[in-house]
Every structure is written in C-alpha cells, then in structure tokens.
Copies of this chain bind each other. A is one copy, B any other.
C-alpha cells in the first residue's frame, strides 16, 4: 500500500493536478491579489483526544492548523468554513457551543470570518474539516519549491514543544506545573501569521512551509519540491527550553527533529543569517545543498543522513 504522500503524488501526476502539493492552493483572485485556500481534517483519537482537549481548545486548534497553512504561503487569512461530523453523545452534551467559542476567539484575533461549513451526525469519532481562504499579493505567495543550493534555512520560534506536550499527556504527567507551556503548545498551537506577513513583505524568503508533520518531514517536502537537499546543524536547533525539565538531550533532539505540530515556519532565503536577524526573529539552522532529496544532520562533529519521520496516517 502507498503512504498518503505517495498516493497524493501519484494522483496529482496521473491527472495533471498542478495546484496540489503546497500548504495552500494559489488561485488568481484579481489584478492585485491571489486567493489561497487550504483544508485540514482532524480526526478524534488520531489527531486529538477529547479527554485531553476541551471542546474550546479543540475549536482553537482546528482553526489554528489551517491558519498555519495560510501563514506558510506568506498570506493573510480572510474567511473560513468548518465541517463537523458529530457523535450523538457529544451533540447531546451541548459542548459544541464551546468548540465554536474557541474557534471564533482565535478567528477574531486575526479578523477571520466564519462563512459556512456543514454539520452532520456520525456513528464514529468526531471529525472536523477546517477550511480557510486568504489573500496574498499576486504572484507573491511563498512556495515550497523555491529553495536553491546555498540558501540559508531558518525556523521561527522553538521546536519539539508540541511533541513533548503530547508525551506528557500520554504519560498522564500533564498536571506538573512545568508541563503547562508545552501542553499548551500541543493543545492550542499559535499560527505564525505575523512573522509570515513580515517575511512576505520583505520578499527575501525563497521557500516556506509550516512545521506540522515534523522538521525532518517538512524540510523533506521543501527539498523534494525544490529539487534540492539540505544540511542541518543539530546544535543550532532552537529546541523548546520547556522540554529540559522532562526529557533527556537525545529525546529533546528527536522531538525537535521529528515531533511535529509546533506550527512554526521553516523558510529559506538568500540573505546571510546576520542580515535576517535584524528584522525577523528566527534561527539559522542549516543550508540548502545540491544533493537532491538528502538531508544531512551534523551533530557532535559527525554527519548522518536524516530520514523524514513525523506522523503518517498510512
């Protein structure tokens, strides 16, 4: 059986689907702007658990994951739809109101309007499909495919926190005071829309993706879309400092490389680290190379090939 990435790749090739394969599809809107659209499905007991997440947090996260895709294009979100398949017991609990409260609270922060969607009953788990539309100056969306050998690789914020939060939830260690911040990163991620807009305006990012599957996977997507490879310095990775109280150094590095769901932005650019640091808070973590599809990890003076890990449905 193919993985979902192989399935999508085969489908798009077979049918010549040219707008599939980035965080959002880019469509012409008018002479000044392009429309960007994205859809993300969240499945109970696959992407979230209702005993860990309040309905309000889940509403926040459902929107946040799609806003993060809009950010990854350097775009600004404008409108959204939510489709939701609801088990009877959840409908009868009345907690769907709180789901929408959490969704709308985040939407208001970024001026996003709820314009539609669907509500259905289901005999199975709760499923949410989150659809967001946004705009970007025409022809200026930041794609996965623009990285070139010699470009520097940057990441915003910190990595591994969301994965660490998930581990603590799984181990029922979520009540420890020092756990709050990384559990928050897992349950209520923040889309990096402000820095995305700055990067788009500055115009020097050659490629961008959000860190949703995990750095190794997401950098892998950039490399395959751009036809390049990469070199990552393990010592430069901005590992979430809140992990230190709970995990050893090897586990922290593993989380930063493969954890996923941090919803930070990974981007490449031509400028040197120094010139970037003046305008954008991001960490220089490596370089783009010409070795197609190979990501090399430099760690403790040694170099090894980093395989894309992160979560896969199939």
Residues in chain A within 8 A of chain B (CB atoms): 1, 4, 7-8, 11, 15, 17, 19-20, 24-25, 27, 29-31, 35, 37-43, 45-47, 78-79, 81, 83-86, 88, 91-92, 94, 96-97, 100, 104, 113-125, 127, 129, 131, 133, 313-314
Complex interface: chain B residues within 8 A of A1 (CB):
91-92, 94
**B127 engages A39 (CB within 8 Å):** no
Question: What number of copies of this chain does the assembly contain?
Answer: 2
A118 and B39: CB pair below 8 A?
A: yes
Closest to A312 in B: B121
Complex alpha-carbon distance, A8 and B118, angstroms: 9
- Chain B hits for A117, CB < 8 A: 39
Instruction: Check if A41 sits within 8 Å of B118, measured CB to CB.
Output: yes
Q: Is the CB of B79 within 8 A of A131?
A: no
* A116 CB contacts on chain B under 8 angstroms: 19-20, 24-25, 37-39
Residues in B with CB closer than 8 Å to A127 are 85, 122, 124, 127
Contacts of A104 in B (CB 8 A): 15
The chain B residue sitting closest to A17, CB to CB, is B114
